[in-house]
Amino acid sequence: MNWRKLLWVTRKDLRLIARDRSALVSLIVVPIIVILVVAETQGGGSSNILLPIVNEDEGPVANALIKVFREHLDVQVVDRARAEALVRDENQAAAMLVLPGGMSKRYLTNKPSTIELLTDPAQGTELSAIKAVMLLADREAASLGDPFHEELLDLQERALTGKRLKFSSLEQNVPGFSVTFVLLSLLFSVSFGLRDEEAWGTSGRIAIAPVTPWAVLGGKLFARILVGAAQLTLLLGFGHFMYHLSLGHSVVAFVLTVFAIVFSMACFSMIIAAIARTREQIIPAGLSSMFILASIGGCWWPFFEQPKWMQTIAQAAMTTWSMLALHDVMLREKTLMEIAPELLFLFAYGGVSFLIGQRLFRYAET
């Protein structure tokens, strides 16, 4: 008889689960989306890496080198000012190559030339891939004209975005995982916190209390922002003391960057809380949002491993701008004025998200 009662209970619970169609859809659709994002990301390669080349030589040796690089990288031949902007200001390229004037003539007369490689060490993975392609080009170029042979071309590397030539993998990974954990914490704490208010009868009290709904939501959100900012600061501080992670030269820039990142994420969490109308819907909605935003935002792997269409979509994610701002402050040691565009975007992102979330969020009727 106990087995019969067990089946009755199981049948009752399955009927309750089947009523929440949104949660059922999330169980299937969301994992498929996450798998698609991960699979597309892993399909990238060095062909997505941009390498600006300043061709001041325009001779046969320079043309041979550019031909080899085009087979492995996304080469753009531009002037020096544009190349420096792509590396130093826009962070779209990890390095630029300068082929000096007269290189071909000197090579033909067995005189050495120096090729400049101006880099952004903060994009260490892309930079390593470029150097690997340069080694490959060394071998392939031998069959085209042997430009590297007899050491007639010397490579001189110089950082364009700071004083250091390279960073450790931890210095690049710790910020990404710190942002991921803070995002995960905010998504669930904000969503569960707001939904728990339903069980406590908050909607009824708000209806008769002399306070506006946005003030209630704003107050609860501000508490989460303070906790999230403290969490992100502690995680990055742990990386600083344990692994000598640089926090940059400007304390004001660092603090404002942390606050802007957490503000944008906490406000975005309100949209998830508004969309997920039940506690059962919060888990798949929160996890899927975290996986997608962290993966396309550069928290787990570099942007160049993503296809172009995904890189375009990533420009609308706050995680992308969060990682850009953190790298600018911590690795490139930029000042507050230099990172102002990223901070303004994050604050605007959070403000718009709060308005959308406040508009959509409703306490369920109890």
Lowest mean pLDDT among 24-33, 129-138, 353-362: 24-33
- pLDDT value at 26 more than 70: no
- Identify which of 35-39, 42-46, 113-117, 357-361 has the greatest average pLDDT: 113-117
Residue in this structure with the two tokens 């506690």, named with its chain if needed: 279
Max mean pLDDT among 51-65, 223-237, 263-277 falls in 223-237
The per-residue pLDDT for 202 is: 67
User: Is the confidence at residue 93, as pLDDT, over 80?
Assistant: yes
Pick 253 or 170 by higher pLDDT. 253
Q: How far apart are CA 106 and CA 111, in angstroms?
A: 5
pLDDT band with cut points at 50, 70 and 90 for residue 112: confident
What percent of the chain is modeled with pLDDT above 90?
22
| Range 154-158 contact pairs with CB under 8 angstroms and sequence separation of 24 or more | 154/112, 154/113, 154/114, 154/115, 155/114, 155/115, 155/117, 156/114, 156/115, 156/116, 156/117, 157/117, 157/119, 158/116, 158/117, 158/118, 158/119
Report field, pTM of the whole predicted structure over 0.75: yes
Give the long-range contacts of residues 176-179, CB within 8 A, separation 24 or more. Answer: 176/294, 176/298, 176/299, 176/300, 176/323, 177/299, 177/300, 178/232, 178/235, 178/236, 178/239, 179/232, 179/261, 179/294, 179/297, 179/299, 179/319, 179/322, 179/323, 179/326
Residue 291: per-residue pLDDT:
85
50-74 mean pLDDT: 86
* Tokens encoding 271: 């949209």
Mean of pLDDT values over 110-131: 83
* pLDDT band at residue 319 using 50, 70 and 90 as cut-offs: very high
Contact assessment for residue 57 and residue 107, using Cβ atoms and an 8 Å cutoff: no
CA proximity to 268, closest of 213, 225, 325: 225
Mean pLDDT, to the nearest integer, of 325-345?
Answer: 90
User: How many Cα neighbours within 13 Å face the side chain of 105?
Assistant: 6
pLDDT of 248 over the 70 cut: yes
Reply yes or no on whether the pLDDT at 318 is more than 80. Answer: yes
